[in-house]
Amino acid sequence: DIQLTQSPSFLSASLGDRVTITCRASQGISNNLAWYQQMPGKAPKLLIYAASTLQSGVPSRFSGSGSGTEFTLTITSLQPEDFASYYCQQLNAYPITFGQGTRLEIK
């Protein structure tokens, strides 16, 4: 199985901050990576697919980059609704796997 390791697992930040979450794959996955946001008690929401393509309706303060084994999700100018958990997902090979998650909390 391809393992995805997110860092950090926990992140404390303030409104207006710029934050970056990293996802490292245990082997190369090209750009076959997605990022999801999950609010407490809710289903995940797709933010970015193909490593860097912003899903329709997602604010432009979210961006993704990377290829191969290292990927990043960046959120510029944090808004109150951004404090949530974030997961990366690879679909380069079965079984599909997710990172362990990053919890973003308000400082």
Partner 1 sequence: QVQLQESGPGLVKPSETLSLTCTVSGESVTSGDYYWSWIRQPAGKGLEWIGRVEINGNTEYNPSLKSRITMSIDRSKKQFSLKLNSVTAADTAVYYCARGYRGSYYFNWGQGTLVTVSS
> Could you say which residues in the range 4-23 bind partner 1, by CB under 8 A?
none
Out of 49, 62, 71, 86, name the contact with partner 1 by CB under 8 A. 49
Cβ–Cβ < 8 Å for 65, 74: yes
> Could you say which residues in the range 82-101 bind partner 1, by CB under 8 A?
87, 89, 91, 94-101
Out of 31, 45, 68, 72, name the contact with partner 1 by CB under 8 A. 45
From CA 71, how far away is CA 26, in angstroms rounded? 12
Residue 36 in the binding site for partner 1 (CB under 8 A):
yes
- Stretch in the footprint of partner 1 (CB under 8 A) among 10-18, 20-28, 35-43, 74-82: 35-43
Residue 100, both tokens: 């362990």
Cβ–Cβ < 8 Å for 98, 1: no
8: Cβ contacts below 8 Å, ≥ 6 apart = 21, 102
Paired with 57 in beta bridges are: none
- Stretch in the footprint of partner 1 (CB under 8 A) among 19-27, 28-36, 65-73, 76-84: 28-36
If DSSP states are collapsed to H, E and C, what string results for 44-55?
CEEEEECCCEEC
Contact set with partner 1 (CB under 8 A): 1, 32, 34, 36, 42-46, 49-50, 55, 87, 89, 91, 94-101
